Chains A and B, each alone.
Chain A
């Protein structure tokens, strides 16, 4: 609708917006509200159009969100299934540990994803940092817990464990400890 057409449209229907009186205050109020609503509509539509996602429906996949997270973390297209298969062999009461860069927020994301998939197994996070620093993304148990497996995310297992490591994705390896 052009601006002229819009003006005519609003003018024809101005009673709806209480512009019944002919005095100047009401005319000014009418014009101001038309301008405000016009700005409201234009700015709003611009914002909505920028945010719309043009993609196929997600309801085809039962794990669409966790797959999306896995894709962004370690580049796997079916990351949820990959992780689930790798973790299902561990007893349900065994703990798991995600090891990765201690100052990288993606360590937490990896821990959350593994934790989502591994229920009811507890999943902790151990952040690797330089000596003297404290990892802000570590999530460690209060008591001594011996993990059944360690997931090395964007980090390599130490040499003594490297032989037992199984590569799940480019940035993700799993080492069975027990």
Chain B
């Protein structure tokens, strides 16, 4: 019976994702991998958000019925829309290189799936994320207000967003018990979304399916993306936020190149998902909109770009209001962001920069990702792809610079430990964008954009 219950839970996520992708993606010819990636990301986000919002007024089993109905309704809308206006296109693979790369993509998906079920959730997976799903399940599927006022559990970061925990809670509600093992079935799908997005981004921007497949195969060679703490297989929020960030970066690049309303809409939705996935998503989304303003200004499209920030503002302000209403304990990892604190601690930046440089050449963790990314960005700029080079450099460098500067305000007595325990995972957020930059650098110099 367990398998059936898991299947129902996953199918309902897929149903919601199908509907959300059909509503968000433009009509006409649609790449199947793009539809799948968007459906996974938006389906998961929809179900977790619905669990959270419906949980305010009802508990399981009514909660499950309500969320299932919403998912089915969204799926039905998507079905009718796609039947009339969508023409799905499957990618065509031919040639030895394509087939080899395709085999590599399948192999890495199998590896991630296997490692997902072979590894436990580890420390952060259970004590920062799954604990919220566990508590929600014990309270009828909804997060109890007592959790936010329970100072004895302030260490579990009640102020962290509930995107991932509510999705885990959804699975638990169907299973009928919290299960730290079976919850791992969710995570290979995020990896599939990531490689599908890399494939689509590579294909859309370069027009070459071999470059697209290379982009999808490259994460296989970045050890910390595949196995270990924070990886796609371990069940933390780091890889999901890296995937959502990749989606947002891709649609921003697409908007910069093609200036379509659909790409701006998808960029807007992906950016709004960032702070719902992980707390630093606010920084990532802020960086993207700052870059987006520079993209929109020369085209006199500042107003659409600012309007695109509305979903993000709703998520961020809504969450702040919710936390204030719940009297959640304040974030205790950072001192007040004041000029005095900055002047007092600014010399920390030397240590952070040195640590960052050391982390970039930790071969056992990152392979040669950051080194090759630097070469790729230089190569892109040199070959007259300045727009892509500048955009990708900004979307990678800006968040890393802000993350590094934030440690000036660290409240930890041993702030060096704060840097060393969190910065390596923070830079994972931009790692998939770095993979995309490498793949794009492999493309022929004169290929244009394909839509």
Of A113-121, A150-158, A163-171, the one contacting chain B is: A113-121
A59→B182 contact, CB < 8 A: yes
| Interface bits B192-227 vs A (CB < 8 Å: 1, else 0) | 000000000000000010110010001011111011
In the bound complex, how far is the Cα of B143 from the Cα of A120, in angstroms? 12
Taking the complex as formed, is A20 at the interface, i.e. its CB lies under 8 A from any CB of chain B?
yes
| Interface bits B9-29 vs A (CB < 8 Å: 1, else 0) | 000000000000000000000
A58→B117 contact, CB < 8 A: yes
Query: Do A40 and B221 form a contact, CB below 8 Å, given A16-B211, A116-B127?
Result: yes
B208→A64 contact, CB < 8 A: no
Closest to A62 in B: B179
CB interface residues, A 99-133, toward B, < 8 Å:
108, 111-112, 115-116, 119-120, 122-124
Task: Return chain B residues, CB-CB under 8 Å to A45.
Answer: 221
Our pick among B97, B365, B369 for the contact of A16 (Cβ within 8 Å) is: B97
Taking the complex as formed, is B367 at the interface, i.e. its CB lies under 8 A from any CB of chain A?
yes
Taking the complex as formed, is B93 at the interface, i.e. its CB lies under 8 A from any CB of chain A?
no
Taking the complex as formed, is A90 at the interface, i.e. its CB lies under 8 A from any CB of chain B?
no
Taking the complex as formed, is A135 at the interface, i.e. its CB lies under 8 A from any CB of chain B?
no
Our pick among B135, B363, B442 for the contact of A119 (Cβ within 8 Å) is: B135
Our pick among B127, B184, B365 for the contact of A59 (Cβ within 8 Å) is: B184
Closest to B365 in A: A47
A16→B363 contact, CB < 8 A: no
CB interface residues, B 178-193, toward A, < 8 Å:
178-182, 184-185
In the bound complex, how far is the Cα of B178 from the Cα of A46, in angstroms? 36
Taking the complex as formed, is B177 at the interface, i.e. its CB lies under 8 A from any CB of chain A?
yes
| Interface bits A41-71 vs B (CB < 8 Å: 1, else 0) | 1011111101111111111111111101100
Taking the complex as formed, is B343 at the interface, i.e. its CB lies under 8 A from any CB of chain A?
no
Query: Do A12 and B96 form a contact, CB below 8 Å, given A57-B118, A68-B120?
Result: yes
Query: Do A59 and B185 form a contact, CB below 8 Å, given A36-B372, A43-B367, A65-B130?
Result: yes
Closest to A52 in B: B227
How far does the Cβ of A87 sit from chain B's closest Cβ, in whole Å? 14
B134→A119 contact, CB < 8 A: yes
B134→A58 contact, CB < 8 A: no
B442→A65 contact, CB < 8 A: no
Taking the complex as formed, is B358 at the interface, i.e. its CB lies under 8 A from any CB of chain A?
no
Our pick among B122, B126, B210, B443 for the contact of A116 (Cβ within 8 Å) is: B126
Query: Do A136 and B178 form a contact, CB below 8 Å, given A41-B221, A58-B118?
Result: no
In the bound complex, how far is the Cα of B131 from the Cα of A53, in angstroms? 24
Task: Return chain A residues, CB-CB under 8 Å to B96.
Answer: 9, 12-13
Our pick among A18, A55, A112 for the contact of B118 (Cβ within 8 Å) is: A55
In the bound complex, how far is the Cα of B177 from the Cα of A62, in angstroms? 8
In the bound complex, how far is the Cα of B127 from the Cα of A112, in angstroms? 7
B180→A123 contact, CB < 8 A: no
Query: Do A124 and B223 form a contact, CB below 8 Å, given A57-B117, A57-B118, A116-B134?
Result: no
Taking the complex as formed, is B151 at the interface, i.e. its CB lies under 8 A from any CB of chain A?
yes
Task: Return chain A residues, CB-CB under 8 Å to B152.
Answer: 95, 115, 122-124, 139, 141
CB interface residues, B 124-177, toward A, < 8 Å:
125-127, 130-131, 134-135, 138, 144, 146, 150-153, 155-156, 177
A58→B223 contact, CB < 8 A: no
Taking the complex as formed, is B228 at the interface, i.e. its CB lies under 8 A from any CB of chain A?
yes
Closest to B211 in A: A16
B177→A40 contact, CB < 8 A: no
Task: Return chain A residues, CB-CB under 8 Å to B214.
Answer: 16
Taking the complex as formed, is A27 at the interface, i.e. its CB lies under 8 A from any CB of chain B?
no
Task: Return chain B residues, CB-CB under 8 Å to A95.
Answer: 152
B121→A65 contact, CB < 8 A: yes
Task: Return chain B residues, CB-CB under 8 Å to A37.
Answer: 372
Query: Do A40 and B118 form a contact, CB below 8 Å, given A47-B364, A51-B228, A122-B150?
Result: no
In the bound complex, how far is the Cα of B233 from the Cα of A57, in angstroms? 12
In the bound complex, how far is the Cα of B217 from the Cα of A71, in angstroms? 37
In the bound complex, how far is the Cα of B178 from the Cα of A63, in angstroms? 8
Beyond contacts A51-B224, A69-B123: 15 other A-B pairs, Cβ-Cβ < 8 A, are A12-B96, A16-B211, A17-B442, A18-B444, A18-B447, A40-B367, A43-B367, A43-B368, A44-B367, A47-B367, A48-B227, A52-B115, A65-B122, A115-B155, A120-B135
8 residue pairs bridging A and B, Cβ less than 8 Å apart: A13-B95, A17-B442, A46-B364, A47-B224, A62-B177, A64-B181, A65-B130, A139-B152
* Interchain residue pairs A-B with the least CB separation, the first 10: A44-B221, A47-B223, A18-B444, A122-B152, A16-B210, A59-B181, A44-B367, A51-B227, A13-B97, A65-B120
